Structure 1
Amino acid sequence: MVRIVYLNYGLLDMMFFEEEEREAIESFWAIFGTTNTPRNTGGVRVLDVNQALNEKDFGGYQIGVVAKEVA
């Protein structure tokens, strides 16, 4: 199982996929991406892609926290 942690306009969220990592990333961007916007630009940015034990394995992240990226 793959966990993708992402910022959705500053709000931390995550999705879980029963796929290999590469396919999970493609599935994620099929949901959130658009054809004219490059990935990780705009309001949705992937922070972490990692393995998870199940849907309760948050990997130390807290869903719903407002996060600010630091350059």
Structure 2
Amino acid sequence: MVRIVYLNYGFLDMMFIEDEEREAIEQFWGIFGSPDTPRNTGGIRVLDVSQALNEKDLGGYQMGIVAKEVA
């Protein structure tokens, strides 16, 4: 199982997909992506892609908090 942690217009959220990592990322961007917008440049930004034991394995993240990018 793959856990994708992403910012959804500043709110931390997760998606769990029963697939290999590459296919999970493609599925994610199939849902949230747009053909005219490059990945990770709009309101949706992927922060982490990693393995999870199940849907309760949050990997130390707290969903729903507002996060800011610093760079």
The TM-score with structure 2 as length reference comes to 1.00
Structure 1: gaps spanning 5 or more residues: none
Give the % identical residues: 82
Aligned position for 2:51: 51
Q: CA RMSD in A?
A: 0.2
How far has the Cα of 1:58 moved from its partner? Answer: 0.1
How far has the Cα of 1:12 moved from its partner? Answer: 0.1
CA distance in 2, matches of 1:13, 1:3: 10
Deviations 1:12-39 (A, max 9, x none): 0000000000000000000000000000
Structure 1 runs of 4+ with >4 Å offset: none
Aligned position for 2:25: 25
Structure 2: gaps spanning 5 or more residues: none
How far has the Cα of 1:4 moved from its partner? Answer: 0.1
The TM-score with structure 1 as length reference comes to 1.00
Number of matched pairs = 71
